[in-house]
Amino acid sequence: DVKVTQSSRYLVKRTGEKVFLECVQDMDHENMFWYRQDPGLGLRLIYFSYDVKMKEKGDIPEGYSVSREKKERFSLILESASTNQTSMYLCASRSTGSSYNEQFFGPGTRLTVL
Amino acid sequence: QKEVEQDPGPLSVPEGAIVSLNCTYSNSAFQYFMWYRQYSRKGPELLMYTYSSGNKEDGRFTAQVDKSSKYISLFIRDSQPSDSATYLCAMRTPGGTSYGKLTFGQGTILTVHP
């Protein structure tokens, strides 16, 4: 069964803290994505990775960085968390051979920055 | 102007109603069109996928794409309380290193009450 897991369901951090969000997929997918989801704004792409050590900026990369050292793991880093980064963060993965362009999502991490 | 516009609702209908969910878009290069369904506290899951223009039916669900009008729709017949969820349209262009990158609408919250 296809599975994308995220390290935490809920996370509370303080302004200025460095925050790591981890995502692991067990499907041997080449592509991985980080989104944030906010009411009225839908899913917005932060960063994606089309292969190990490869990354590209999405639509809203400011304030974030990513790391993909292994194929199954894609990390999102908030270097210095701010209150406007309070959001739901969703990780997804996809096979380049996917005929349906299907992205498989994790359950999300609800991050609150105080 | 957002590339993809979706009425966020919320939409509340009685059980058995026909539901129509819609998205408009501005990028004529979009070729792949998807609908994702997201239950509360879960990640989105692919519901329907359509390539280019036309209709696709799957049980109670019908996806329509009208590329000339840059308009896509999802119809749900005989709606059930279990259809209560957020529905997200998504689309992408073909090819390139950013293949697989999706652009999402804002999502429509649907509640089907018994």
pLDDT tens by residue, B76-98 = 999 999 999 999 999 988 765 55
For residue A82, give how far its alpha carbon lies from the nearest alpha carbon of chain B (Å).
23
Would you call B74 exposed, middle or buried from its count of C-beta atoms within 10 A (0-12, 13-18, 19+)?
buried
Closest CB to B106 among A4, A31, A41: A41
Domains by residue range for chain A, with CATH = 4-96 (2.60.40.10)
Closest CB to B106 among A40, A58, A92: A40
Q: Which pLDDT belongs to residue B101?
A: 80
From chain B, the residues in CB contact with A108 under 8 A are 41-43
From chain B, the residues in CB contact with A101 under 8 A are 32, 34, 49, 92, 100, 102
Q: Which pLDDT belongs to residue B64?
A: 96
Q: Which residue of B has its CA nearest to A2?
A: B45
For residue B33, pLDDT over 90 is answered with yes
Q: Which pLDDT belongs to residue B98?
A: 57
Q: Which residue of A has its CA nearest to B96?
A: A50
**Interface residue B101 vs chain A (CB under 8 A):** yes
Closest CB to B49 among A42, A56, A101: A101
Contact check, Cβ <8 Å, A107/B101: no
* A7 DSSP 8-state letter: S
* Of A90, A20, A96, nearest in space to A54 by CA: A96
For residue B100, pLDDT over 80 is answered with no
For residue B99, pLDDT over 80 is answered with no
* Average pLDDT estimate for B5-26: 94
Q: Which pLDDT belongs to residue A96?
A: 80
How many CA atoms lie less than 13 Å away from A109 in the CB half-sphere?
25
Instruction: Kindly report the length of chain A.
Output: 114
Contact check, Cβ <8 Å, A58/B101: yes
Low-confidence residues of chain A: pLDDT under 50: none
For residue B8, pLDDT over 80 is answered with no
Report pLDDT digits (tens) over B42-66.
999 999 999 888 899 999 999 999 9
* Of B36, B49, B35, nearest in space to A90 by CA: B36
Q: What average pLDDT does the structure give for chain B?
A: 91
According to the 3-state scheme, what is the secondary structure of chain B? CCCEEECCCCEEEECCCCEEEEEEECCCCCCEEEEEEECCCCCCEEEEEEECCEEEEECCEEEEEECCCCEEEEEECCCCHHHCEEEEEEEECCCCCCCCCCEECCCEEEEEEC
Domain positions in chain B: 4-113
Give the DSSP H or E segment for A89.
Answer: strand A87-94
Contact check, Cβ <8 Å, B100/A107: no
* Fold annotation for B4-113: Immunoglobulin-like (2.60.40)
Q: Which pLDDT belongs to residue B97?
A: 55
From chain A, the residues in CB contact with B52 under 8 A are none
Joined tokens for residue A32:
């991985």
Q: Quick check: A52 and A69 in contact, CB under 8 A? A: yes
